Structure 1
Amino acid sequence: MFKKSCLSILVSVTLLSACGSDNDDDNTSFDFDATPMITNLTEDVIVAGYVDLNTKAEAFVAAITTLSTDKTEANLAAAQQAWKNVRQPWEQGESHIFGPVDSLGIDPHLDSWPLNTSDLEDLLSSQSSFTADGVRNSNDDVQGFHTMEFLLFGDGVEDNTKAITEMTDLEIEYLASAAEVFEGYTQDLEDAWLVASDANNASSEAYKDYLLETDNEVYSSQVGVVEELINGLIGIVDEVGNGKIAEPFGSDIDNTDTSLVESQYSWNSLADFTNNIIGVQNVYRGEFEDAADAQGIIDFVSATDSELATRIDDEISAAIANIKAIAGTDDLPFRQAIGDADARVRIQTAIDSLTLLQASLENDVLLLLNEWNVQ
């Protein structure tokens, strides 16, 4: 992560230098004080999102504990909903998946995909008990979101409504251990942003301070911070359009691959994709949940081109709407939609809208860094 950030800064400095040293003579240059925007996005979008993630992880652990002590359909349903609840802030947070989530290796611990179902089933058939330490020391592909999803919802082929009678005591024990490990990592992530970015050095700076107080070993100026934020948006739009949706979608209806559908066990895929782009909207608008009227990337763009700022905001909204529309009136889960002729038309529309949005972010927004007179 640190090397990537420094490289980004060098690229930005090179691009800015190419525009000429005297910005006052550049008719395309614009002034913008990024401090309020960076402060809001750091404190009230990114950090607030990780706090929400950790809070919901704690609630998820509590739901699994209840299920462990009282094996009922109602408690299983509550645990399934708690999994979906904690999935939401994680997916929205993929719009800014830099910093400790990368440098501390938390992303693969929480969200490795595909799940190694063979190894997981071997563990369940070969061991008589499980502990949090044992799960923590296992490979990433048998812990995290999708391990817990598989245990809670089943294989997702015919339905996503696993019955409590299908869940063994050993599965619940593994689930409880995995949930405990999971919550430990979300706590580490919150602490890294708010307390100390290096888990082995309590006196290290909170990662948020690197963004708020530039001219440090991570970001030499606000240019690097804003570039990091914009590249985060580009990265997740690319991943959703060209990876999460396009890869299982295939070249035609005879070349789909349901094994590539993320969150297929819970049939939560479309919610995942939607939340990914809502995360883009959060950073672009500078809003998280009910917060509003605070600065986001839209204000940076508006400082030079208000029409462009509005157009991109509309493209984000369109991408969200088009992803939601994939389900159609039959409320098809994504793993079934890729094999449905009518749904494939809607999927292609969603892909096209994401392609358009990615191009706008790359060609119209990122290049504004070359014209910005940094305050």
Structure 2
Amino acid sequence: MNNVLKKTGMMMAMAAIISLGASCSDDNNENQSGDNALSVNEQKMEAITNQYVTNTIYQTYGAIADATNQLYENLAAVTEKFKTDPQSVSQSDIDNICQIFLEAREEWEKSEAFLYGAATDFGIDPHIDTWPLDADGLATALKNADQVAKLEGEDGIAYAGGKLGQELLGFHGIEFIIFRDGANRKIADLRAEETNEAFTKIGAHVTGLQELIYATAVAGDLRDRCFQMEVAWNADAPQSHINRVEEVELPFTVNGGSKSYGENMLAAGKAGSTYASWQEVMVTILQAGCENIANEVANTKIGNPYSGEDVNYIESPYSHKSFIDFHDNILSIENSLYGGRKADGRDTSKSIIQYMKDNSYPSLASLETAVAEAIAALETCQSTLGSFVQNVNNTLVGEAQKKVQILDDELVKAAGWFATQK
């Protein structure tokens, strides 16, 4: 996601107000067995939240952390080989890095339905996923031999994260180095000088080694910030990840306190939690999480280029994986609604969808249809068109946008309904 979640604060405030009103209702004690006992519905919401935090958020952030760590290690190893002998680096080395990048990218896009929390509070989202890449700025940076030297080695990670600026960091900086025109970068091109117009117009004679040094430093910073998200949510993240976050002095607790974001959400309604009720948690998942990314996919990621408002506002323009990015964003919504990731312990019996079934939500069929049709429309774009870059005005793109807009509307309705639950 390119921008900080501008609407999140407003939505979460609204959620708090709505859910507070619901919790103060005269019949809120319905189905309770004690003064402070949870209603039957609240018990279900608590179980849903446990499943959501454990099998959607923890699993996804763990996968992102592992994939970005592997990406950094592989880039660092290939860069060292390239320093010694560029001829020793093969096309398969580059292809392997590209594959790892795409795996990391997939996991990140599958997390965008829960960008509220650590990803926003610590500015991680814009730090690692701002586009378009500032190609002119990158050309200037890599033309400067002293700056490239500062990007080398372990110290280069901190230099990249602190000095380059978000338009040169994250996924899209790495993407520029290892992909071009929808294909893996050719090793022959990396053995020569950079020919991108942003470089040639200022006479920047930048080598593939300099580009790989830059990509390695940025990948290290990307890994560190993904470790930060994982550790911030999951107090039981791998100790090596916790140690790294502490080493580079990145914050990882809620409001500087002792709770992780997972612990905070799982303590809803208790002293010390920022969530006043389980209803507020449900509204947050649906509106600050799912609806927020549906809105962005429909009206910004697809909408800006498709409408002509900004034809250059294209996510993943070098790998041509935009449709896959959008598709994975909707899968992040599906995982949030249906009780987790399919491959990692999904349990629909403890899901928002099942709760809606049990409580006769009147628009459930419309919501489920909207999820399925949005996913299908984006799969059609990918299989039929392949590249969003080359087909921004295609009618299939417009149809996909409408399907995601319908999903957006259904999520708004669902959040409003959940706010009335007791």
- TM-score bracket, normalised by the shorter chain, equals 0.7 to 0.9
What does the per-residue CA deviation read over 1:115-166, in whole Å, with 9 as the maximum and x for residues that have no partner?
Answer: 1111111111112422222211121111100000011113x3xx43321122
1:7 aligns to 2:13 (yes or no): yes
Q: Distance in 2 between matches of 1:258 and 1:72?
A: 35
Matching residue of 2:312? 259
TM-score by length of 1: 0.87
TM-score by length of 2: 0.78
What is the Cα deviation at residue 55 of structure 1? 0.7
1:43 aligns to 2:54 (yes or no): yes
What does the per-residue CA deviation read over 1:7-45, in whole Å, with 9 as the maximum and x for residues that have no partner?
Answer: 244322365279x533589xxx99452111000001111
Among 152, 155, 158, the alignment partner of 2:178 is 152
Matching residue of 2:379? 324
Q: Which moved more, 1:274-283 or 1:351-360?
A: 351-360
Q: Which moved more, 1:187-196 or 1:312-321?
A: 187-196
What does the per-residue CA deviation read over 1:301-358, in whole Å, with 9 as the maximum and x for residues that have no partner?
Answer: 21222663343222201101101111354x430011114xxxx221121111111111
Letter matched to residue 234 of structure 1: E
Matching residue of 1:244? 301
Structure 2 CA distance for partners of 1:324 and 1:91, relative to 1, 3 Å? same
Matching residue of 1:91? 109
Aligned residues: 356
Let me know the Cα RMSD of the aligned residues: 2.6
Structure 2 CA distance for partners of 1:143 and 1:24, relative to 1, 3 Å? closer
CA contact (8 A) 2:304 2:310 kept: yes
What is the Cα deviation at residue 198 of structure 1? 4.3
Q: Distance in 2 between matches of 1:24 and 1:169?
A: 66
Matching residue of 2:225? 185
Structure 2 CA distance for partners of 1:50 and 1:244, relative to 1, 3 Å? same
CA contact (8 A) 2:63 2:107 kept: yes
Matching residue of 1:367? 416
What are the equivalent positions in structure 2 for 1:100-111 lying under 5 Å apart?
100-111=118-129
What does the per-residue CA deviation read over 1:74-121, in whole Å, with 9 as the maximum and x for residues that have no partner?
Answer: 111111111110001110100111111111111111111221111111
Structure 2 gap ranges (5+): 31-38, 82-87, 191-207, 236-241, 243-249
Structure 1 gap ranges (5+): none
CA contact (8 A) 1:72 1:164 kept: yes
1:281 aligns to 2:334 (yes or no): yes
Q: Distance in 1 between matches of 2:408 and 2:67?
A: 30
Q: Distance in 2 between matches of 1:357 and 1:164?
A: 42
The sequence identity of aligned pairs, in percent, is 21
Q: Which moved more, 1:97-106 or 1:60-69?
A: 60-69
What are the equivalent positions in structure 2 for 1:118-129 lying under 5 Å apart?
118-127=136-145, 128-129=148-149
Structure 2 CA distance for partners of 1:81 and 1:328, relative to 1, 3 Å? closer
Q: Distance in 1 between matches of 2:12 and 2:416?
A: 18
Matching residue of 1:21? 26
1:61 aligns to 2:72 (yes or no): yes
Among 153, 158, 162, the alignment partner of 2:185 is 162
CA contact (8 A) 2:16 2:276 kept: no
Matching residue of 1:220? 276
Q: What secondary structure sits across from 1:327 in the alignment? A: helix
Letter matched to residue 221 of structure 1: S
Matching residue of 2:387? 333
Structure 2 CA distance for partners of 1:239 and 1:203, relative to 1, 3 Å? closer
Matching residue of 1:302? 357
Matching residue of 2:100? 82
Q: What secondary structure sits across from 2:379 in the alignment? A: helix
Q: Distance in 2 between matches of 1:126 and 1:79?
A: 26
Structure 2 CA distance for partners of 1:256 and 1:324, relative to 1, 3 Å? farther
Q: What secondary structure sits across from 2:110 in the alignment? A: helix
Q: Distance in 2 between matches of 1:327 and 1:152?
A: 21
